[in-house]
Structure 1
Amino acid sequence: MTYVRPHYRRDGTYVKGHNRRTRPRTAQPRTAPRRTTSRPRPVPTGPTTYVRPHYRRDGTRVRGHHRSVNPRTVAVVAGTGGGGLLLLLLLLALAGGAGTSKSPVGTTPSQSASVPVSHHR
């Protein structure tokens, strides 16, 4: 006998912990025969990503698995991942970053900083 821990069903009903039989009570034929031969799992080549377990719209449960990633997708992600943000930050730093300079409280900006002075000879 297998012990089933208490849990909530998808519809929200609570199921108390109980012992479940591992074999059917009567020897009735099954509706769908179980697969007895195990197929070798394909070994993904190249980059992979992990897909978390989830339920499809039709209610089918999908177990967590590793999925191979298209090389084009990897190139697109690598090209825009952090490089675009780094370039943006660099451009903002070179441009002076509008609105980033603040004067301390209680001080006034100097005249040379706020009004350009022209020197005539």
Structure 2
Amino acid sequence: MTYVRPHFRRDGTYVKGHNRRTRPRTAQPRTAPRRATPRPSPVPAGPTTYVRPYYRADGTRVRGHRRSISPRTVAVAAGTGGGFLLLLLILLALAGGPGTSSKTPADTRPSPSASAPAAHHR
């Protein structure tokens, strides 16, 4: 038997000190946890996405599963394609993409005002 010291629970109740009975040992040690029988899961209606298995903050393992997507999420995801195109066009304009470039002029001949002054003939 194990002695448990007096303490307060999280909800504020007081627990007196007591002896706790230990679990009796089984004849065969359990090496693997027992698995629950799989239940057939209902097929979600509409668009779905796969959620990979993960561990919660408290250590609980969540198995991989399919989750339905709300219509609003689908609309937002579909709307990002136009935003991507707009972003691409802005980046091309800033980088001097296809079309005229602001760095090199189209006409490379010197202008008359920039050339040497012409000699006057008499």
Larger radius of gyration: 2
TM-score, normalised with respect to structure 2 = 0.47
Using structure 1 for the length normalisation, give the TM-score.
Answer: 0.47
